[in-house]
Structure 1
């Protein structure tokens, strides 16, 4: 075991880069590795510890690169291995570690292994790398529904045109699931880990880390129709959260521990309750797990307090930090989501037909308050690109521009995730807001994003960008990530107040001003989420978070 003070990931703030939407260096409308390298200094200025890149591997791009056809090369859309090495070197110069996405549950149907499986006979070693089953006359091997809509099985055709076996895919039909009971699959991924670790990669975010093992016998299962498609319900689907996944990550941890420099594994595991999620971060498995129950909270003080307590308790039992998150590339941006009044299951997205769309000002105010509270919590935290600009969800994307498989597999009934993936605005008044010199953009950017552009916010003291800069610098200065939380009792139900070291954090989730706790009366204010808000002495404005320094 490393000494705790060398375990940077316990208190780190990690900035997620969605490569195709971050910065385009060659004008083709697609973000790339050179674009990331050119803009890295802006991220370093935020006082974060690391960057995490969503997939850039060779891929047909049916699902934004989460359909991988070669795990050990760069897709030409994003550059070359040399570009990757240059980016890693520049990040390390700036004091940023580099985490990359790994997609082990499934590959692309264009992966050489799957192409070989299609040509091979039932029962062959080639097919055993995937999950093939005989196709019954009644339809599919079981009733499982894909995360993206439609059946989780696709039938193949034999050489004579007759119906062949069906293969399993939790996601799109172009993403066949690996059979993780197969030793060839396990050995291949050990090689993939070492390939990227040898190039200086500091760790991996593991996509669908709860999905690799399926329940024995693949039994029929009908999930709660209101549940999030990626899991997260108390009742586990037979394709989520099976015990066998932990053997895989214990094996991976041994590979990680062969390397110096505190390389890390972070789980995308949509499981509930938090006591189950904590299994992914036991001391011989992964280092972090995204806290999806926290991300899923409403803008509600008591719900958030309960989730914080449960998180610190359950992760603490296994000696792991909690890792807080509010947005990522799979959910509606929290500058919009926190003001939605209707249910919004993960992955469904929102669009022009969504009822009761919120006022942008309400969503941004709640997002700033929520981020201000999150960044004061002990443990690690993740920031999704653009949230530091206050970016809302892009709602009015034309139907013909949408690219998420969910949109197509549900015949437009569910919008999917395109709205949180629109390329970033860097410079107001420039083509594509500076994302691309040519003005090209793989998803259209809203016409009213000039005020969100980074350069428009740099000199505005009240901007969301400068709020994040102050919060992150104060978090670092006061070592909040390695601190501990002590609640201040006796506040109104809509007020949360806690001390972390010598910083007192007070958050008001009501729309109206409420009394500050007595502890704040004599304390020095450090930062507030709404610079222009004012309230009478002894009160905190509605939907606002304030940090104070205690004597």
Structure 2
């Protein structure tokens, strides 16, 4: 350090201060020594006080002393120590950032629970309410069951089927107002209470959204009819003609509705035909029309302001059709089901489904627009899409990094497990592995997978296979990579409704084609939730009317009974959800298959930078299986032993198993926490011991 920076004025002032200081300190020093001498005379045991080493030094002398080699070296050493410590802390911070797994967005780590509101829970009768106790599930009924969702299941998100104000034809899917709740289900106040209660319990809410069509009773369609008929109420209504697709009678082509019969309906008032890919009560909106898009975007925004955390966009593949109305080619492989109506499956839908990739531009517009607008830290708004498109189109649903689309295009591959009619079927381990790979293999890096075993349009998994496979199926769902979506009641092993009569049918698709309604109805998988063994399975207190019949096995298969049985499907489901929340290895997007056979599918779930590795083996076959997994793999072996953390057999949990002779009964599955780090398919295998020869 240098002294040359002092100017003359400062030097003079300093010297004066120094002289003054010296006099004062000299006097103080004499006094100091006097005190020392006095102390020594008073007591021979008093410690001798020494003068302070730099006492009396002025600023100039201190600065001069600080420039000695020893002090210079000391300062540099201290500075280097501080710098080295700072670098070490910076390096450690960078290391932790790189190696610590990132926190997953809520929709990636969540277990999503899908509810069909009309079938979940009917709130109790109330003198101030016209809906409670009426035999139909409602929003207050869901509110009453939030404790079950939170504490008995441990799920993180709820997906509700359509709740919008409707014309009452198709279970809420013939929408008359995209911004209001259907009167059958409750009110906006009920909805806002539901959002609040769910959020208070750390549960997100996702809604179905069906932009493809409206109800024929929607205000827009009624105005459109009048304009086409030449009798508009005002010139302002002329625009509504373009909200739907109209053409001169007769029907312009061979297009067929998803609900069977022609996709065109000739209106008596308008004297023209309108397009409906679903039923005649659900005319298609023209989603190329900017005002239609704007109206739907406003509806999404309205629900976001009410606290919705995301939407499942339904029917994406039907958003656009060929504008020249080209006939669709005949499906030569179609086998008649004996209906009086033309069937959707009898044609190849080259001009009405996934047409020209146009559907996905709307998803990207919403993703970049209203979804982005309402996505902030901690409140990301997720987009799902509900389409039965084959895997050829998967990537177009996800979009790209520059033009993102859906976060979770729903994966329906596992709905192919077993008999689609719900009459009991089988699937091999190899077939199951192929279904899983079919989706994962076409995903680009960075896309997030999802799986589901059932929904409101597919037979229940307990019926597609058999009730005794409910447990092993739930292990599969909750240990596959990505986000699992569980359909209500599957956590109990609920089965398809039996003994349904045509007079009880609510599904419009079945009513549209009555000659084959048993093949068409989706009411089988929509029966009321089985809460207990009381009247109506605890679903409703109504004595006069129930929306759909309750399954006859409700006294044995219900929530109350399974909560008391540690070996039940429900209790195993709960343990699996808890396991997922504890171990990151079960919430990654990767999977390593070990060895699949006619009976068993086996795989490993792991995360490279943590030690926990899980081995899952599930027997979907009809005979016992005993396999040596220890010597199975890509040129090497698994560890010899592991601990069973979850099993279809409660008594097997916490036990040790040897992987060179793992025995599984039909319908049995185990989740094993491995003893050592293992990576199947690539990388190193760490083996600390081998079995005796």
Q: Same fold (TM over 0.5)?
A: yes
Task: State the match for 2:477 in structure 1.
Answer: 374
d(CA) in 2 for partners of 1:280 and 1:174?
28
Task: State the match for 2:248 in structure 1.
Answer: 134
Does the 8 A contact of 2:264 with 2:274 survive in 1? yes
| SS of equivalent residue, structure 2 residue 672 | strand
> Is 1:225 paired with 2:225?
no
Distance 1:191 1:4, change over 3 A: farther
> Is 1:291 paired with 2:411?
yes
Give the TM-score normalised by structure 1.
Answer: 0.88
| Residues 373-392 of structure 1: pairs in structure 2 closer than 5 A | 373-392=476-495
Does the 8 A contact of 1:365 with 1:530 survive in 2? no
Does the 8 A contact of 2:257 with 2:344 survive in 1? no
> Is 1:81 paired with 2:188?
yes
Does the 8 A contact of 2:261 with 2:343 survive in 1? no
Comparing 22-31 with 274-283, greater Cα deviation is found at 274-283
Task: State the match for 2:163 in structure 1.
Answer: 56
d(CA) in 2 for partners of 1:234 and 1:322?
31
Task: State the match for 1:425 in structure 2.
Answer: 530
d(CA) in 2 for partners of 1:24 and 1:217?
47
Which of 263, 266, 272 is residue 384 of structure 2 equivalent to? 266
d(CA) in 2 for partners of 1:107 and 1:121?
17
C-alpha distance after superposition, 1:447-475 (max 9, x if no partner): 33111111111010121111211111112
Aligned residues: 514
Which of 245, 252, 255 is residue 144 of structure 1 equivalent to? 255
> Is 1:14 paired with 2:112?
yes
Distance 1:104 1:87, change over 3 A: same
d(CA) in 2 for partners of 1:27 and 1:412?
34
> Is 1:252 paired with 2:252?
no
Which of 301, 315, 336 is residue 429 of structure 2 equivalent to? 301
Task: State the match for 1:196 in structure 2.
Answer: 303
Which of 300, 311, 321 is residue 214 of structure 1 equivalent to? 321
CA RMSD of aligned residues (A): 2.6
Does the 8 A contact of 1:521 with 1:538 survive in 2? no
d(CA) in 1 for partners of 2:259 and 2:138?
26
Task: State the match for 2:239 in structure 1.
Answer: 125
Task: State the match for 2:457 in structure 1.
Answer: 330
Per the TM alignment, residue 365 of structure 1 is displaced from its structure 2 partner at its CA by 2.0
Does the 8 A contact of 1:523 with 1:548 survive in 2? yes
Per the TM alignment, residue 249 of structure 1 is displaced from its structure 2 partner at its CA by 0.6
> Is 1:310 paired with 2:448?
no
Does the 8 A contact of 1:524 with 1:549 survive in 2? yes
Does the 8 A contact of 1:533 with 1:541 survive in 2? no
| SS of equivalent residue, structure 1 residue 523 | strand
Distance 1:533 1:482, change over 3 A: closer
Comparing 400-409 with 478-487, greater Cα deviation is found at 478-487
Does the 8 A contact of 1:484 with 1:500 survive in 2? yes
d(CA) in 1 for partners of 2:600 and 2:117?
38
Distance 1:59 1:204, change over 3 A: same
Which of 539, 556, 560 is residue 451 of structure 1 equivalent to? 556
Question: Could you say which structure has the higher helix fraction?
Answer: 2
d(CA) in 1 for partners of 2:541 and 2:467?
29
> Is 1:545 paired with 2:664?
no
Which of 14, 17, 32 is residue 138 of structure 2 equivalent to? 32
Does the 8 A contact of 1:492 with 1:514 survive in 2? no
Does the 8 A contact of 1:210 with 1:268 survive in 2? no
Does the 8 A contact of 1:514 with 1:541 survive in 2? yes
Does the 8 A contact of 2:448 with 2:589 survive in 1? no
Per the TM alignment, residue 118 of structure 1 is displaced from its structure 2 partner at its CA by 1.2
| SS of equivalent residue, structure 1 residue 467 | helix
Give the TM-score normalised by structure 2.
Answer: 0.71
d(CA) in 1 for partners of 2:445 and 2:353?
21
| SS of equivalent residue, structure 1 residue 200 | coil
d(CA) in 1 for partners of 2:386 and 2:530?
27
User: Whose RCO is larger (CA < 8 A, sep 6+)?
Assistant: 1
> Is 1:528 paired with 2:644?
no
Does the 8 A contact of 2:417 with 2:464 survive in 1? no
| SS of equivalent residue, structure 1 residue 366 | helix
Task: State the match for 1:155 in structure 2.
Answer: 266
Distance 1:492 1:102, change over 3 A: closer
d(CA) in 2 for partners of 1:422 and 1:134?
42
Does the 8 A contact of 2:386 with 2:409 survive in 1? yes
Does the 8 A contact of 2:415 with 2:453 survive in 1? yes
Per the TM alignment, residue 297 of structure 1 is displaced from its structure 2 partner at its CA by 3.6
Does the 8 A contact of 2:502 with 2:517 survive in 1? no
Task: State the match for 2:29 in structure 1.
Answer: none
d(CA) in 2 for partners of 1:230 and 1:10?
38
Unaligned runs of 5+ in 1: 339-362
C-alpha distance after superposition, 1:315-371 (max 9, x if no partner): 2x1521111011001111111023xxxxxxxxxxxxxxxxxxxxxxxx112232222
Per the TM alignment, residue 215 of structure 1 is displaced from its structure 2 partner at its CA by 2.5
Distance 1:370 1:61, change over 3 A: same
Task: State the match for 2:601 in structure 1.
Answer: 496
Does the 8 A contact of 1:365 with 1:544 survive in 2? no
Which is greater in Rg? 2
